[in-house]
Amino acid sequence: MKKQGPGTREQGTERIAKLLRAALPSFEQDGEAARDLWPAMQRRLQAERLSSPVRLHVPWFDWALAGAFVVMLAVFPAWIPVLLYYL
Amino acid sequence: MRDVAISPVEPVAAGTGQDLLTQFRAGSDAAFEALFRLHQRAVRGWIVRMVRDPGAADELTVETFWRIYRARERFDTGREFEPWARRIASRTALDWLRAQKPEYAVDSGFFAALPVDSHADPAVSDEIRRKTAMAFGRLRPALRIAATLAVIEERPYKEVADALGISVTAVKLRVFRALRLLRKDLQSQGITP
């Protein structure tokens, strides 16, 4: 093995690395799956789409507006009854 | 260092590949399927190296691509797809390893899944190999995954660091700690490497 760094260059560390490689050889298996994984992927996509709730996207400007409104009511609480009257 | 090609997929023409990534980011299912078919082999190959279980690798490949699909809006089309996919695959594998019971790594199925190595050192007995594998299985997944990729699979530190989303120094540190803990464990069993 090409020595990769000062850590593995240490003699004891190199010995244990060699032992580890002897115990657990490299998994040189081809990445090809025994079966086509796309059908499983499709099932997963469908299941997740059916189970996930519809998410409403609220623009940041709306959040800022709502925040400003709450701050305004906190600063001027006298406006609350007026607001309620007109709602 | 062995020259094992991790990504045996056919190269895609630059323009076509870029279009595909742009369409994928925009939410095209057809583009996602094309990317899945193009990269599933490389992603699965990377996962199987980390988890060392071909059956689990199939499941984790699907889980990885599901995470990729969910994160598509965050994908930077100016960058390559595969390193990004590999990082997500590494995180998926790490989550899976963390969810496994510690004895998973040392049960009979684990040894049955190991490839037969014709170059195995005959001086190391089967008993020592078994004990070493068991001790390795008791390490924390974060240490185990770094040592698996850097020591067993002999992938370059830079590649491991990119895949795990940590620095090269952090990878070296994890490998060093993993090997030190492994040595301590074996020494406690009377094995002096």
pLDDT in tens, A48-84: 888 766 667 788 899 999 999 999 999 999 988 988 8
How far does the CA of residue B126 sit from the closest CA of chain A (Å)? 8
CA B90 to mean position of chain CA atoms? 5
Higher pLDDT, B127 or B71: B71
Residue A5 has pLDDT above 70, yes or no: no
What is the Cα–Cα distance from B82 to B59, expressed in whole angstroms? 19
- Do A38 and B29 contact (CB within 8 A), yes or no? no
Q: Domains in chain B, please, with CATH? A: 12-99 (1.10.1740.10), 103-193 (1.10.10.10)
pLDDT in tens, B87-121: 999 999 999 999 987 655 555 445 545 554 545 55
A9 touches B: beta carbon within 8 Å: no
pLDDT of residue B89: 96
Residue A15 has pLDDT above 50, yes or no: yes
CA B153 to mean position of chain CA atoms? 9
ipTM of the complex: 0.71
From chain A, the residues in CB contact with B43 under 8 A are 31
Per-residue pLDDT band for B175 (boundaries 50, 70, 90) equals very high
The chain A residue lying nearest B187, using CA atoms, is A16
A22 touches B: beta carbon within 8 Å: yes
Reported pTM: 0.71
Token pair listed for B169:
């120094």
Find residues 17-36 of chain B whose CB sits inside 8 Å of chain A: 29, 33, 36
What does the buried/exposed string (b/e) look like for B124-163 if buried means 16 or more CB atoms within 10 Å of the residue's CB?
Answer: beeebbebbbbbbbebebbbbbbbbbbbbbbbebebbbbb
The chain A residue lying nearest B3, using CA atoms, is A28
What is the Cα–Cα distance from A46 to B29, expressed in whole angstroms? 12
How far does the CA of residue A70 sit from the closest CA of chain B (Å)? 32
Rg, Å, chain B Cα set? 18
* Residue-by-residue DSSP string for B64-132: HHHHHHHTGGG--TTS-HHHHHHHHHHHHHHHHHHHS-GGGGGSHHHHHTSPP-TT--TTS-HHHHHHH
Whether B33 sits inside 8 A of A38 (CB atoms) is yes
Token pair listed for B13:
């023409």
Higher pLDDT, B23 or B9: B23
What is the Cα–Cα distance from B83 to B43, expressed in whole angstroms? 10
